[in-house]
Amino acid sequence: MSDRPRFFDDLAGVAGGAFSALAGLRDETEAMLRGRLDDLIQRLDLVRREEMEAVQEMAANARAGQEAAESRVAELEARLAALETRVAAIESAEADAAAPDDL
């Protein structure tokens, strides 16, 4: 009867070793597959999600900057138009004042 529990202990040890070997094999397979996928991605000129998100963020920032610049340019153009109108009015008033009276 003492042989039977030892047999199960040995069987459990073998099973535990097999599971750890399978876990190591799985890790090695994942690493190899990941390496091959990285090579494939580089050959196909694909980008990673992190890189794409960074480019999207840069584009959003550039778009926001462009919109701010466009609104600033529109504001400056309006101010320039107002100043040109005022200058034209002043020049017209000066021209009228300098003209001889025909009375």
Number of folded domains in the chain?
A: 2
Helix (H, G, I), strand (E, B) or coil at 101: coil
Query: Quick check: 2 pLDDT over 70?
Result: no
Query: Quick check: 91 pLDDT over 60?
Result: yes
Tracing tokens 């097999």 back to the chain, one arrives at 18
Q: Are 68 and 74 in contact (CB under 8 A)?
A: no
Give the span between the Cα atoms of 51 and 57, in whole angstroms: 10
Q: Are 38 and 45 in contact (CB under 8 A)?
A: no
Pair 26, 62 in one domain: no
Average pLDDT value over all residues in the chain: 87
pLDDT digits 0-9 by tens, 35-71:
998 888 888 888 889 999 999 999 999 999 999 999 9
Pair 30, 71 in one domain: no
Pair 59, 30 in one domain: no
pTM over cut 0.75 = no
